[in-house]
Amino acid sequence: MKILIVEPRKHPRRAEIPHSLEEMQRLVGGDIEATYPFDDPVAIVNDGESKIKGYELNRYIPNADIIAGTFFVCGLGKEDFADLPDDLAEKYEKFFYEPEVFVRAVNCILILRADGTREVIR
């Protein structure tokens, strides 16, 4: 299955993995959980307990959440995950390209990006 892997403090990378539950769990470090924060037919797949386990915060998705730990973006088939089409792989590679560092402060989180931009979320 063709996917886009997004690890903390790294640029995304395209990969091809076996289409198995075990491989997906291995990649994210635990039980998988899928979210669908975009209008495109894609899923964000991560360890559903990544924040509880204390994984490093990884990327912020506006109007959705901060994802912790390694996650991947894949396509959606009729009833299961599917290959991420090349056009969507390119789109989300650009979307998640800049690694982010999160600084917790009183009542907010400061997001620092490798390109020098900053954002505060409350």
**54-77 tens-digit pLDDT:** 999 999 999 889 999 999 999 999
* CA nearest to 108, candidates 58, 66, 51: 66
Does 12 reside within a domain? yes
Does 121 reside within a domain? no
Does 111 reside within a domain? no
pLDDT in tens, 2-52: 999 999 999 999 999 999 999 999 999 999 999 999 999 999 999 999 999
Q: How far is CA 26 from CA 11, 36, 44, 83, 107, in A?
A: 20, 21, 15, 18, 34
Does 11 reside within a domain? yes
Does 6 reside within a domain? yes
Does 109 reside within a domain? no
The model carries a pTM of 0.94
Does 20 reside within a domain? yes
Which residues span the domain enclosing 15?
Answer: 2-97
Domains: count for the chain: 1
Does 91 reside within a domain? yes
